[in-house]
Chain A
């Protein structure tokens, strides 16, 4: 027996728009409305509207909330200012990545942790277990929020007409409560597309009204509804890791080239946090014997590398593995993220190819990201 897929508050809206739906982590989500390439280009050049209500929100409150999160996560969460957000990870005792997260500090003693849909239960369970002994409450708020994202260069202009919130004062990776189109929202300047944009956490009952208001406000600016398919190519071009691809429980943050998110200099809990000893070892290992590095690959041809395809060196030996690959609408060529042996990881390394179903297709090694917006 498989459970029926969960549907977001915007389900009927997506169907009315003719979306192609797909199962994603137990949710029935829009994959695309028309052409995923057109949606991708809209986000890069104008604006796109996403339903991300499948993401998992967990609220952590109480006088010990900061201490709990410092202990449970690898980042320095107590150091996040009220109204700001931080990208961080939750690891197991062996240093393996359970999920990557964004943590918003909503108040002095209130945080919202946003987990990937596929890992929301794992994160909730881990936080609940790790809260033992802390004066903090971990609350499952997955059903309390719908999440809409407006992404793209036109997004500030679109939102400005709908809110009194001070968007100019809202920095990247910050969030503040406000009202958008008359509905209460947590307005965050975050996203997963490489563009300027906003994520709006609202009550599910308000989701349709907000979607319609954003659609109307964005009409003249060329805003279009966007599905998960273009979200994946957008984040790939922006070099952003995806759980299950670049990040897994078999990978520590150091192995993923994201060791900078691990903060060993914590002042709370005597500096202790889950995974500390294993992560120290992983750091030392990475310094002494560089692990495979996460690099970008750009195709010379047109065949598309897929996750799991081997990366091969000049002599045909396997030197790595593709973790994500897609045709890049912005570059006009297939691109991939891949873990590659350090000896072949330098940009411009000659003779690197991807084994695409038996054929070695030449690829150029580049530094990530493939795309960076002009500020």
Chain B
């Protein structure tokens, strides 16, 4: 499974980009996308919402199941990916690129985020 080195990962299978001017991009990993199967609906937080690390902020609906979406960090949502709202299959086809979910102005992060290698080992 491809886990880009420049990203960090949560044990709930979100990825988090390095902050640019305090803003990080968040998505779910290829591992999670594969486990979900074909994603058919995403419900994302609204711009301006506060999110808290480890807490639910949306949901991902696939053919067989619905999964909560967690935020890997604390912060305020600055942007959501409208492309993925209209075409949820981007989560499957490009989880680390066009299938990103939302951006957060990070105000705090937990100390258990994983590196790419640690996440690869975690999902072993």
Contact = CB atoms under 8 A, between A and B. Distances in A.
B41 A35 contact: no
B40 A327 contact: yes
B25 interface: no
B12 interface: no
Interface residues of B, number: 13
Interface in A221-255: 229, 232-233
B24 interface: no
Contact of A302 (B41, B65, B92): B41
B63 interface: yes
A32 B63 CA distance: 12
B37 A304 contact: no
A37 B63 contact: yes
B38 interface: yes
A37 B93 CA distance: 13
A36 interface: yes
Interface of A: 20, 31-32, 35-37, 229, 232-233, 302-304, 306, 326-327, 334, 357
Given A36-B64, A304-B61, A357-B66, 20 more contacts: A32-B37, A35-B38, A35-B92, A36-B37, A36-B38, A37-B38, A37-B63, A229-B63, A232-B64, A233-B63, A302-B61, A303-B41, A303-B43, A303-B61, A304-B40, A304-B41, A326-B64, A327-B38, A327-B61, A334-B40
Interface of B: 34, 37-38, 40-41, 43, 59, 61, 63-66, 92
29 contacts: A20-B34, A31-B37, A32-B37, A35-B37, A35-B38, A36-B37, A36-B63, A36-B64, A37-B63, A229-B37, A229-B64, A232-B64, A233-B63, A303-B41, A303-B43, A303-B61, A304-B40, A304-B41, A304-B61, A306-B65, A306-B66, A326-B63, A326-B64, A327-B40, A327-B61, A327-B63, A334-B40, A357-B59, A357-B66
